[in-house]
Amino acid sequence: MIKGAYIHIPFCHQICHYCDFNKVFFKNQPVDEYIETLGMEMKMFAEKYKEHLHIETIFLGGGTPTALSADQLERLFELIKQYLPMQHVQEFTSEANPDELTYDKLVVMKNNGINRLSLGVQSFDADILSRLGRTHSNEHVYKTIQMAKDIGFTNISIDLMYGLPGQTMDQWNFTLQKALELDLPHYSAYSLIVEPKTVFYNLMTKGKLILPGEDLEADMYSLLMDAMASKGIQQYEISNFAKPGFHSKHNNLYWDNVEYAGFGAGAHGYALGNRYANIGPIKKYMDALLSGELPINSTHEVTAVERMEEEMFLGLRKVSGIDKKQFKDKFGKTLEEMYGQVLSKHIDTGSIIDTHDRVALTRKGRFIGNEIFQSFLME
């Protein structure tokens, strides 16, 4: 059953130095036409998978959804509600830049069912923001959050980043304290990964990107976990923290390995056992739809072994870990049958805990999550 929908808006007014997502500068782009072809894709997908759609979460990502005008957002929501079954939707999230959210845009979002905002804050240090290529200020953050609350938004999350070029522990601690002073229900915090085709990658290849070492980055992660816990913000996934009742339902679909639709140029989805990727270049994406075809660039039928592997490295991202009974019900084999030797090794080193009903990463294991995930990939 397809329970989620991701909708990609590839336009940005400013390209961040770390971003490798499919995006283009907003200026001189066919934005209105793109929105209309998004509607075509949703219509065609909904007709093809009608019997399998039970949409519970929708996520607008990018790029930057808030690069759109209020009128463009209104049209996008009209198309979403026209072509996607909305009766079961529990969570409707939009990413946003703090300096792009106007009162009018927030009202349009609220009136059209958006009930969760995810703001790209990244840092409260002006020098760090400049290095990242971000254009907002702390004042934008405070003003936008207050405006959203005044309009009636209660589920607000912010993204933070650490392990950044030239970032010190003091700077990271400052950002954490400023973030926690906002007393929000949800926080996401990610360590920097330098991806190809980014400004940071180009600087790194020239030896001009000075990053904190692994030890300092680990100390930053430790501080993050302790700071969140001290304020009663529970860690529920390697990079995500929330007050009770405010876990991201959409992201939980990914970690629970549930199928979801991906709409838009370069979007990825998972439907009826197949993972697929859409065409990335905007014009080629639009041309495919205008010719009456779904804009699929590639598909991969997930094998039984791959499904189990995904279940492990996605499920172990969650603090709650993997339910042994659910694993057996899903795959017809026990965790011990499939991964007994690997699990024993990590239990012995204190990286995984076995509570009889579940297996989960320990605090120690969260520091080396990627290494542990790799160990569950079969030869």
What distance in Å separates the CA atoms of residue 322 and residue 343, rounded to the nearest whole number?
12
Phi, psi dihedrals of residue 306, rounded to the nearest 5°: -65, -35
pTM above 0.75, yes or no: yes
**Is the confidence at residue 14, as pLDDT, over 90?**
no
Dig out the tokens for 307 from the structure: 């499904």
Q: How high is the pLDDT of residue 369? A: 95
Mean pLDDT of the chain: 95
Q: How high is the pLDDT of residue 379? A: 58
Distance, C-alpha 189 to centroid of its chain = 11
Mean pLDDT of 103-121: 98
**Is the confidence at residue 197, as pLDDT, over 90?**
no
Q: How high is the pLDDT of residue 63? A: 86
What distance in Å separates the CA atoms of residue 11 and residue 62, rounded to the nearest whole number?
7
| Torsion sign, CA atoms 74, 76, 82, 87 | negative
Q: What is the DSSP string of 57-119?
A: EEEEEES-GGGS-HHHHHHHHHHHHHHS--TT--EEEEEE-TTT--HHHHHHHHHTT--EEEE
> Could you give the 3-state DSSP secondary structure of residue 246?
coil
Q: What is the pLDDT of residues 294-353, one digit of tens each?
A: 999 999 999 999 999 999 999 999 999 999 999 999 999 999 999 999 999 999 999 999
Hunting for tokens 């996605």 — which residue is that? Answer: 314
CB atoms inside a 10 Å sphere around CB 352 = 22
**pLDDT band at residue 208, thresholds of 50, 70 and 90?**
confident
Instruction: Give percent of the chain with pLDDT exceeding 70.
Output: 99
Q: How high is the pLDDT of residue 6? A: 98
Q: What is the DSSP string of 97-113?
A: -TTT--HHHHHHHHHTT
Q: How far is CA 171 from CA 124, 175, 178, 356, in A?
A: 9, 6, 11, 41
Tell me if 22 sits within 8 A of 8, measured CB to CB: yes
Q: What is the pLDDT of residues 53-65, one digit of tens each?
A: 999 999 999 989 9
Could you give all domains of the chain from N- to C-terminal order, each with its CATH number? 2-255 (3.20.20.70), 304-374 (1.10.10.920)
Dig out the tokens for 152 from the structure: 């009636």
Helical segments of the chain, H only:
31-48, 70-83, 103-111, 126-132, 138-151, 169-181, 199-205, 214-230, 249-255, 282-290, 304-315, 324-331, 335-348, 363-366, 369-374
**Is the confidence at residue 23, as pLDDT, over 70?**
no
Hunting for tokens 């994406």 — which residue is that? Answer: 285
Q: How high is the pLDDT of residue 354? A: 96
What distance in Å separates the CA atoms of residue 287 and residue 348, rounded to the nearest whole number?
55
Mean pLDDT of 116-139: 94
Q: What is the pLDDT of residues 162-190, one digit of tens each?
A: 999 999 999 999 999 999 999 999 999 99
**pLDDT band at residue 194, thresholds of 50, 70 and 90?**
confident
**Is the confidence at residue 98, as pLDDT, over 80?**
yes
Dig out the tokens for 134 from the structure: 């971000």
